[in-house]
Structure 1
Amino acid sequence: MSETPTDARFLKTKQKIITGMITLLQHKSFDDVTVKDICDVSHVSRSAFYLHYEDKYDLVNQYQHELMKSGSLLITFQNQLAQDDLFATLLQLLTNEGQLLALLIGKNGAADIQTQIKQTMTEAAKSFVIDHFKIPYSSASEKQYLAVALSNAIFGLIQEWVDAGQKASPEMLNQVVKNLFLS
């Protein structure tokens, strides 16, 4: 029987690889992690790794895509807009389901992946956060700069939170964001 994306063995191997990457990023930078390292820590063969991913970048891209597809990041973000605890919800999501993504945001992450995450956050801010929270702007150019400022500030806050071991409560950080942007 061939492995398919719904086969339990297939899913278990993918989870082992992701768990291995999480373990490695707790001690090494993304740039220093090799496919061999991932395979060794995950206890999977290189051929099993390459059955699932082209390289470590593909692993990260698929992981991000699966989080969004399952509704974890994007849908939760959009559905929580009406609530005051939007940022706290995002941090809870990173804690509960996005451990690899959180590590990629931190000091051991890769700059190109961090840039991609910031761009996604900027588009989200521009698409619905700025208008939803009625942050004033007078032109499309000003809205773009507001989106960049908002996303970079929030990214920096998340990055500091991850690098500090995620000790501060999501609710406290949510209050910081509200004080910065909504007061």
Structure 2
Amino acid sequence: MLTDVDILLTVGIIALAHGLEPDHISSARLVRQKRKLVYLALFHSVGFLIVATPLSMALIYFSFLKPSIEFASNIVGIIFGALLLISAILRLDMEIEPKGTGLLQGMLNVSPSKVMAVILAMDTRSLIAGTFVILWFSFVTSLSIVIMGLATLRIPSSLERSLDITIGIITVTFFSLSLFNLI
């Protein structure tokens, strides 16, 4: 049995990795200002807290919902990757609205890392500890998205287009493969 400290460490690592998922990198690349990047990350976490947490719990108990939710999650990921890819290929200075986009992404993209965080929160067998685990996951994910986004903002402008094309291709490929259960 995991202790609460073990759960917090595990969830922290999962949240760091979650913040580095391809759709988060793509959406962070579509936000060009530091303040907007923070809004994107915060609203992503709010979306997770509002919708994805109950959806994750539903997935645990009603597994027949899993294919529909996974389909929607993969489509959301593909859309963010495609937006980044199109903006890079066509040399469009496309920027997304961070609050609505973050909320949408946090709500609709139910990833295995989110489900795992919910399962581990439930494993604490305490409403207060479980709530703290979910809030910890949200905080660390937001921090991860912001740090990664800030790092990509420092990329020299001569490399931005190549980076955006690469990230866009990786994101679309990752979620397309996931859509067809190939990963």
TM over 0.5: no
Higher relative contact order (CA 8 A, sep 6+): 2
Structure number with the higher helix fraction is 2
- Larger CA Rg, structure 1 vs 2: 1
Q: What's the TM-score, normalizing by structure 2? A: 0.33
Q: What's the TM-score, normalizing by structure 1? A: 0.33
